[in-house]
């Protein structure tokens, strides 16, 4: 739900870079979904809980 908001909301479309902390679900799913809309998507696992993920996004893909 939150990722749909990030990919559809006009304010987030204009951002050059942002970070998301994922604490539930499968981080690979979120990384793949964001990669469809943004470039430079990188996930680094949290050192205390490997299911948590810090996702860094570099910019929006041109369409």
The secondary structure of 1-63 as a DSSP string is -HHHHHHH-HHHHT-S-EEEEE-SS-HHHHHHHHHTTEES-EEEE-SS-TT-EEEEE-EEPP-
**18, pLDDT greater than 70:** yes
pLDDT in tens, 32-44: 888 887 778 888 7
pLDDT for residue 43: 81
Is 80 exceeded by the pLDDT of residue 29? yes
Give residue limits of the domains in the chain: 2-60
Q: How high is the pLDDT of residue 8? A: 66
Q: Please give the mean pLDDT across all residues of the chain.
A: 73
Report whether pLDDT(1) > 60.
Answer: no
Range 8-27 average pLDDT = 72
């Amino acid at each position: 739900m939150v990722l749909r908001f990030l990919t559809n909301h006009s304010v987030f479309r204009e951002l050059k870079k942002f970070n998301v902390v994922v604490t539930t679900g499968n981080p690979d799913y979120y990384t793949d979904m964001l990669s469809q809309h943004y470039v430079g998507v990188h996930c680094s696992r949290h050192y205390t809980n490997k299911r948590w993920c810090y996702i860094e996004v570099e910019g929006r893909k041109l369409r």
